[in-house]
């Protein structure tokens, strides 16, 4: 099976390097240090043409949306896939569920995006579903929560003494180690994998406040100061506040029982240790 990994950033690069060199090609807007085949391919460039793409059996797409819904990058990319691949794996976000007041969400929970970032993902999912149906392509949508791993633990913020929301005011947490997300992508390439939507994550719902404190503890740094939600509303950036405004527990039973992925870092304490 020949696979195109479209987008070789934090997650895509790990997926690229999990696959045999003779069966994969990465598509990247800039050069990266890798021993896998790589093609410079900028979806923001008007000069990109369909003939630039090799035929593939599968596509793993990690590129974030751009512009107003539907995603202009995805709209430019899909017509270039001729013939269409047998399967398409798309990394989306659990943000599509919006604020659920701490309730548990499954793949059957209706989407209800509460910000433009999540609305773009909902539109991209719908665009892909229509395209996959028209092209007899198996579609895998991996709805991922916050992704962490080496270089993505927020150490700089901790070292700078930036505050976090008090544990009493914090929402349930949802996260996934980048290597576990890469495992989900690889599992979706299996011929026996069932197409569909999958919530992916470690199924550990301790808060982001707990997570940051645990990173500080393992890194030997002072615990970050905690502030109330009222104070956070005055001090935090609008983007950070938008994440705080949503509360949900993401159920990942289908990931484990249907996709067959048991996260290596089901306990984020282990994931933090490995990342450090």
Is 161 among the domain residues?
Answer: no
Is 241 among the domain residues?
Answer: no
Is 71 among the domain residues?
Answer: yes
Instruction: Report the interhelical angle of 268-275 vs 208-219 (nearest 10°).
Output: 40
Query: pLDDT digits over 79-104, tens only?
Result: 999 999 999 999 999 999 999 999 99
Report how far residue 60's alpha carbon sits from residue 4's, in angstroms, rounded to the nearest whole number. Answer: 6
Q: What is residue 51's predicted lDDT score, i.e. its pLDDT?
A: 65
Report how far residue 213's alpha carbon sits from residue 162's, in angstroms, rounded to the nearest whole number. Answer: 12
Which residues 6+ apart lie within 8 Å of 179 measured at CB?
14, 149, 264, 265
Is 243 among the domain residues?
Answer: no
Any bridge partners for residue 144, and if so which? 93
pLDDT, mean over the chain: 95
Total domains in the chain come to: 1
Report how far residue 223's alpha carbon sits from residue 204's, in angstroms, rounded to the nearest whole number. Answer: 21
Q: Which domain holds residue 258?
A: 3-153+174-205+249-265
Is 274 among the domain residues?
Answer: no
Is 127 among the domain residues?
Answer: yes
Residues 88 and 59 sit within 8 Å (Cβ to Cβ): yes
CATH number reported for the structural domain that contains residue 195 in this entry: 3.40.50.720
Percentage of the chain beyond pLDDT 90 is 90
Query: pLDDT digits over 147-199, tens only?
Result: 999 999 999 999 999 999 999 999 999 999 999 999 999 999 999 999 999 99
Is 139 among the domain residues?
Answer: yes
Average pLDDT over residues 237-241: 87
Q: What is residue 67's predicted lDDT score, i.e. its pLDDT?
A: 83
């Amino acid at each position: 099976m020949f696979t195109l990994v479209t987008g070789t950033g934090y997650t895509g690069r790990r997926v690229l390097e999990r696959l045999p060199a003779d069966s994969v090609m990465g598509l990247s807007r800039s050069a990266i240090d890798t021993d896998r085949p790589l093609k410079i391919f900028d979806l923001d460039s008007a000069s990109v043409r369909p003939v630039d793409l090799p035929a593939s059996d599968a596509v793993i797409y990690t590129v974030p949306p751009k512009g107003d819904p539907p995603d202009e990058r995805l709209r430019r990319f899909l017509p270039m896939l001729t013939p269409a691949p047998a399967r398409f794996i798309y990394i989306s976000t659990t943000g599509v569920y919006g604020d659920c007041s701490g309730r548990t969400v499954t793949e059957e929970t209706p989407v209800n995006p509460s910000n433009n970032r999540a609305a773009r993902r909902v539109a991209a999912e719908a665009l892909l579903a229509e395209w996959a149906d028209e092209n007899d392509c198996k579609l895998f949508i991996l709805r991922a929560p916050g992704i962490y791993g080496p270089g993505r633990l927020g150490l700089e913020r901790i070292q700078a003494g930036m505050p976090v929301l008090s544990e009493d005011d914090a929402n349930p947490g949802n996260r996934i180690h980048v290597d576990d997300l890469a495992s989900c992508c690889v599992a979706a390439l299996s011929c026996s994998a069932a197409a569909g939507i999958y919530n992916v994550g470690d199924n550990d719902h301790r808060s982001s406040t707990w997570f940051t404190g645990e990173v500080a503890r393992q890194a030997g740094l002072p615990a970050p100061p905690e502030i109330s939600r009222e104070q956070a509303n005055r001090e935090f950036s609008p983007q950070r506040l938008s994440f705080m405004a949503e509360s949900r527990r993401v159920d990942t039973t289908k990931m484990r029982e249907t996709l067959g992925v048991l996260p290596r870092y089901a306990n984020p304490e282990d994931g933090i240790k490995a990342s450090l």
